[in-house]
Amino acid sequence: MPEFLLQRSLSEHVFDTTSANVNLLFRFFGAVAKFERNLISERTTAGIEVARRRKKHLGRPKGAKKEILEKYQYAQHLYES
């Protein structure tokens, strides 16, 4: 276990991280957290795969749509004149 976790609290004597019980508890919570991260990663990968099969566009749009460009050019023309 990393040395910074093997410390005692000066104000709360209940939390003694040097004992075997607390060491086991820290490792258990760490394992649960890693399990959760792996589940999130698997679900994200599966979701991206499904979106690709459905031909969904992933990520940011490549550029502005044609109608938006036309509105911009018209507004720019009005501004300049």
Q: Which candidate, 38, 59, 35, places its Cα nearest to that of 48?
A: 59
pTM of full prediction above 0.75: no
Integer Cα distance of 22 and 18 in angstroms: 7
Counting every residue, how long is the chain?
A: 81
pLDDT by residue (tens digit) across 24-73? 888 899 999 999 999 999 999 999 999 999 999 888 878 888 898 899 99
SS3 label, residue 19: coil
Total number of domains in the chain: 1
Please say whether the beta carbons of 37 and 29 come within 8 A.
no
In which domain, by residue range, is 9 found?
A: 3-80
Integer Cα distance of 7 and 26 in angstroms: 13
